[in-house]
């Protein structure tokens, strides 16, 4: 194989899992949100731009994936989207530029060779009105400030996809020199309570502590757990922040699409489906959950999704299936409108349909 004109990093399985979900979602975000808005994509930690797996196959990193997706979408649809790529390492920026040339990507991003936090705050200080913006925050470590994420989420229709580097956070939690970094990361001091916890309890404590803070300014916050490819151990979490229930629902289904309907990556065990993980079992569980949660209530389907999508592991399609299965037993459905355009009685479940739980 001829020498490539750019450098690569080694591709690991969990990076592939991250890229697959991310790219699937970005494609949909551009098509849906971009139909009525100009968009911005900001890659806060751009990376080297390309990876090579053990067989020598090349995979691209987030900035290149997004640019290629934009190129493909805009070849068919009218969309206006700007890309900003930030990385502190100048060599990485130069490498990404070489990949754009090699792949003949006809999109011209703005490259910024600087610190993410400084750059983003500078932009927010100086620009009054910002188009809906998707920001990918994917550092190696955990130098991310809660206050900066809060500022980003104040941009109307903005979204954040963020790598919460659990392994490193857990490793350094008791390091006195890192206390200020952790205060900035969590935006309060509650994380300190987790220092005395162990194992799973500590992991859950840290994740919930972080999510509670994010929920103060982002309506929907969902996290995806990614394990190491060859250990039964958490590597990191990907957090998705959006103020629209549909964003949350779509990101979950983008992730689940590559993981047998699951919203987590389980390393080597990822392609083994446990006895209690089949779709039928999952739907039955959800039916029990809905029965208990909504007994005696009336809610539109959309209200149920809005209330549950970032609180449970179930996908929007699971809710639809469960409600259809429960119809006439534990609940009835008032369909609005009751008939299709051709005058036939509707049988599906749509957002405005009212679910009347017995
Ligand atoms: C995990 S890599 C990003 C991978 C990339 N998102 C992808 O999908 O291929 C993290 C990158 O962040 C860069 N970086 C580290 N600290 C930074 C900072 N404070 N501001 C901006 N970039 C930084 C590193 O140089 C590195 O290229």
Indicate the domain borders of the chain.
9-271, 275-357
Asked if residue 116 has its Cβ within 6 Å of ligand 1, the reply is yes
Give 88 Cα–ligand 1 centroid separation in angstroms: 7
Residue 279 — pLDDT band, cuts 50, 70, 90? confident
Give 45 Cα–ligand 1 centroid separation in angstroms: 3
Residue 303 — pLDDT band, cuts 50, 70, 90? very high
Mean pLDDT, range 258-280, rounded to an integer? 84
Mean pLDDT, range 331-335, rounded to an integer? 97
Give 117 Cα–ligand 1 centroid separation in angstroms: 12
Domain 9-271 bears CATH identifier 3.40.50.150: yes
Contacts of 94 (CB under 8 A, 6+ apart): none
pLDDT at 146: 98
Give 68 Cα–ligand 1 centroid separation in angstroms: 19
Q: Which protein residue has the closest C-alpha to ligand 1 atom 5?
A: 47
pLDDT at 6: 98
Ligand 1 probe mutation, 25, 45, 67, 160, most atoms within 8 A of CB:
45
Mean pLDDT, range 217-235, rounded to an integer? 96
Report the percent of the chain where pLDDT is more than 90.
94
pLDDT at 2: 65
**The 133-137 sheet, strands edge to edge:** 110-112, 81-86, 39-43, 133-137, 159-164, 234-242, 220-227, 264-265
Asked if residue 218 has its Cβ within 6 Å of ligand 1, the reply is no
Asked if residue 139 has its Cβ within 6 Å of ligand 1, the reply is yes
Report the percent of the chain where pLDDT is more than 70.
99
The CA-atom distances, in angstroms, between 87 and each of 96, 148, 346 are 10, 17, 52
Instruction: Name the token pair of 351.
Output: 């957002």
pLDDT at 276 over 80: no
Rounded Cα gap, residues 49 and 103, in angstroms = 12
Asked if residue 115 has its Cβ within 6 Å of ligand 1, the reply is yes
Residue 274 — pLDDT band, cuts 50, 70, 90? confident
pLDDT at 331 over 80: yes
Ligand 1 probe mutation, 7, 14, 88, most atoms within 8 A of CB:
88
pLDDT at 268 over 90: no
Asked if residue 92 has its Cβ within 6 Å of ligand 1, the reply is yes
- Is residue 226 within 8 A of residue 235, CB to CB? The reply is yes
- Look over the chain and give the mean of its residue pLDDT values, rounded to a whole number: 96
Out of 34-43, 162-171, 257-266, least confident range:
257-266
Helices (H) and strands (E) in the chain, counts: 12, 14
Q: Which protein residue has the closest C-alpha to ligand 1 atom 16?
A: 88
Mean pLDDT, range 295-313, rounded to an integer? 98
Out of 3-7, 75-79, 114-118, 277-281, least confident range:
277-281
Give 105 Cα–ligand 1 centroid separation in angstroms: 21
pLDDT at 1: 52
Asked if residue 87 has its Cβ within 6 Å of ligand 1, the reply is yes
Q: Phi/psi of residue 65, each to 5°?
A: -60, -45
Asked if residue 229 has its Cβ within 6 Å of ligand 1, the reply is no
pLDDT at 271 over 90: no
């Amino acid at each position: 194989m001829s020498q490539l004109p750019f450098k690569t990093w080694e591709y690991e399985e969990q990076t592939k899992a991250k890229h697959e979900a991310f790219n699937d979602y970005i494609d949909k975000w551009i098509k849906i949100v971009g139909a009525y808005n100009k968009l911005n994509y900001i890659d806060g930690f751009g990376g080297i731009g390309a990876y090579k797996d053990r067989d020598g196959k090349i995979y691209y990193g987030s900035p290149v994936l997004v640019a290629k997706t934009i190129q493909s979408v805009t070849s068919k649809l009218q969309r206006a989207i700007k890309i900003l790529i930030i990385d502190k390492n100048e060599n990485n920026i130069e490498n990404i530029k070489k990949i754009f040339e090699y792949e003949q990507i006809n999109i011209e991003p703005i490259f910024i060779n600087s610190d993410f936090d400084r750059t983003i705050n500078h932009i927010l200080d100086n620009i009054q009105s910002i188009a809906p913006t998707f920001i990918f925050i994917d550092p190696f470590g955990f130098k991310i400030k809660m206050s900066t994420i809060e500022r980003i989420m104040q941009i109307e229709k903005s979204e954040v996809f963020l790598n919460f580097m659990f392994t490193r956070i857990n490793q350094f939690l008791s390091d006195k020199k890192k206390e200020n970094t952790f205060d900035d990361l969590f935006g309060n001091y509650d994380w300190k309570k987790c220092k005395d916890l162990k194992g799973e309890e500590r992991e859950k404590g840290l994740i919930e502590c972080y999510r509670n803070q994010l929920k103060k300014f982002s309506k929907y916050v969902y996290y995806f757990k990614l394990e190491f490819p060859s250990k039964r151990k958490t590597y990191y979490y990907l957090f998705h922040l959006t103020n629209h229930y549909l964003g949350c629902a779509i990101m979950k289904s983008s992730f689940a699409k590559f993981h047998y309907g699951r919203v987590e990556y389980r390393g080597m065990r990822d392609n083994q489906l446990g006895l209690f993980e089949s779709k039928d079992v999952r739907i039955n569980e959800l039916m029990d959950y809905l029965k208990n949660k909504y007994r005696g209530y009336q809610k539109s389907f959309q209200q149920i999704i809005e209330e549950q999508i970032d609180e449970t592991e179930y996908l929007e399609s699971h809710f639809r299936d469960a409600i259809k299965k429960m119809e006439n037993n534990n609940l009835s459905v008032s369909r609005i409108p009751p008939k299709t355009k051709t005058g036939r009685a509707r049988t599906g479940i749509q957002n405005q349909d009212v679910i009347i739980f017995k």
